[in-house]
Structure 1
Amino acid sequence: MTYRWISFTTDYGLRDGFVAACHGVIARLAPDVRVIDVTHEVPPQQLRHGATALAQTAPYLPEAVHLAVVDPGVGTARRGVVVVARHGLLVGPDNGLLLPAASALGGVVEVFELSEPSLRLSETSATFHGRDIFAPAAAHLALGVAPAEFGARVPDPVTLPDPLVAAFPGKLVAEVVTVDHFGNVQLAASPADLALAELAGAVSVHSARVAVRAVVGRTFGDAGRGEAVLYTDSAGRLAVAINGGSAAATLGLGPAQECTITSSPTAS
């Protein structure tokens, strides 16, 4: 099976030439394949953020090879893999980055190690597998090379630990999954968790340093200018926003930190 599209997700940023080098490798091997850049602004080495960004975006893309590189273990014994999902292929390091997106694309069918030397660049750097191993693999897969041609089947791909979510009557504790460009804080919790905690109306949102009063609403305008709203975001997760401001800056929250929501509204 061939693919017309490759999606590309990394923590490379755009200041250097890393993204362009990977685009170039793909273009030289598969010049007719188009690349969709999901994001290259994943915070450095933040696996959960990268996994979440890809998982929340991939279902809206055309069927594709999904190339993702957030790889703090580059050059170590960690494997590179191609994950076969029901509705696409995923290429990258075997560190948990790819499996949430595979689940969003219908579930994992099988996984193969990227070990075949002829399907990577002839010279490989110890620190740039995105260019030398993963980008060539994505291009070859798009051209129709079967995943099994890359190496042995992997029965035990690495998974990320589940993020913290704990709901009690009057209290919900959830891990921050991502913070977007606007400073909106996405939590691991869902509206069902909020219902389990029996929270509605006015609540208090706590970080380690401050608490702010928030309204449980549907969209940003349900709170006054400069005020907080707890809402369900476009990915179906609970999120905290400041109407016209940054919830992340106001609360001092970032990925992997804990956020607590209680039924007792408290002004900061």
Structure 2
Amino acid sequence: MTIVSFTTDYGLADGFVAACHGAILRALPAARIIDVTHLVPPGDVRRGAAVLAQTVPALPRGVHLAVVDPGVGTARRAVALRAAGGHLVGPDNGLLVEAAERLGGVEVAVRLPVPPGTPATFHGRDVFAPAAALLAGGRDLTDLGAPLDPASLVRLPTPHTRLDPDGALEAEVVLVDVFGNVQLAATGALLAEAGLRPPARARLTCDDQHRDLAVGETFGSVAPGDPLLYVDAAGMAALAVRDGDAARTLRLAPGDRVTLRLS
């Protein structure tokens, strides 16, 4: 339980991440901190939530500290949650709930107090990191703050996905990774239900563009430069271009909607 994972949009150019590490280690010198990423686009709660949710199942049981907090210092709540598979700490802006659900669902939630005189712009260091250290050190969640109804926690809108009776699968773009691979909101099971299994070919439609592409299992399923529809390591439908950048080639970004059907 001394493990603390840490996800933020703080970047690596400043001392924000180190200051939070310091706050944890001063309170709990035995803590083991796993930096998930600090390169979430600034203020992109949705991206942070998706990365966190897809990463926590692979991490050891512990405390998952996440801070993507454009509302820092406002009326948004600071919270700590207990799920079956661990604890989560961060702002109540939708960042934590999907990850908590991946860990078995929120069992208990509390509102963390913000002590008088706390600087309004760095709750990561002054509120969330100390709470994460207490939990990692064995403190009971209910000691940290006033109880909250888990149903009152902020939840992000569910990304759009729909399988039409005619077999067309509509899905929203959720993530674009560093390689330019495009993750969709549709699961691999839904892709299969639409008949889009290897070695089929699919037709991709988005706005005024149409593209035929292979359905495969690996990037090597297609020739260099060719597009591919596949199921990624998170079990989600995804688009790639072998040795290329699918987001750039297909002109796709998070929030876009695509339609896929057998070609």
Question: What's the TM-score once normalised by structure 1's chain length?
Answer: 0.91
Cα distance in 1, alignment partners of residues 84 and 196 from structure 2: 37
Say yes or no: does 1:141 pair with 2:140.
Answer: no
Equivalent residues of 1:59, 1:104 under 8 A apart: yes
Deviation of 1:114 (Å): 0.4
Unmatched runs of 5 consecutive residues or more in structure 2: none
Deviation of 1:208 (Å): 3.5
Query: What amino acid sits opposite 2:82 in the alignment?
Result: V
Equivalent residues of 1:165, 1:188 under 8 A apart: yes
Equivalent residues of 2:114, 2:127 under 8 A apart: no
* 1:46 corresponding residue in structure 2: 44
Query: What amino acid sits opposite 1:91 in the alignment?
Result: V
Deviation of 1:259 (Å): 2.1
Cα distance in 2, alignment partners of residues 170 and 199 from structure 1: 10
* 2:240 corresponding residue in structure 1: 241
Equivalent residues of 1:211, 1:251 under 8 A apart: no
Cα distance in 2, alignment partners of residues 164 and 144 from structure 1: 39
What are the residue-to-residue correspondences of 1:49-128 with 2, within 5 Å?
Answer: 49-115=47-113, 117=115, 123-128=117-122
Equivalent residues of 2:80, 2:90 under 8 A apart: yes
* 1:158 corresponding residue in structure 2: 154
Equivalent residues of 1:206, 1:251 under 8 A apart: no
The correspondence for 1:192, drawn from 189, 192, 203, is: 189
- SS of 1:133's equivalent? helix
Aligned length: 258
Question: What's the TM-score once normalised by structure 2's chain length?
Answer: 0.93
Equivalent residues of 2:232, 2:238 under 8 A apart: yes
Query: What amino acid sits opposite 2:239 in the alignment?
Result: V
The correspondence for 1:167, drawn from 146, 163, 166, is: 163
* 1:23 corresponding residue in structure 2: 21
Unmatched runs of 5 consecutive residues or more in structure 1: none
Query: What amino acid sits opposite 1:228 in the alignment?
Result: P
Deviation of 1:106 (Å): 1.8
Cα distance in 1, alignment partners of residues 190 and 44 from structure 2: 25
Cα distance in 1, alignment partners of residues 148 and 71 from structure 2: 18
* 1:9 corresponding residue in structure 2: 7
Deviations 1:83-123 (CA, angstroms, capped at 9, x unpaired): 10112100000111111111111221111100163xxxx74
Cα distance in 1, alignment partners of residues 112 and 257 from structure 2: 36
Identity of matched residues, %: 54
Query: What amino acid sits opposite 2:147 in the alignment?
Result: R
* 1:204 corresponding residue in structure 2: 203
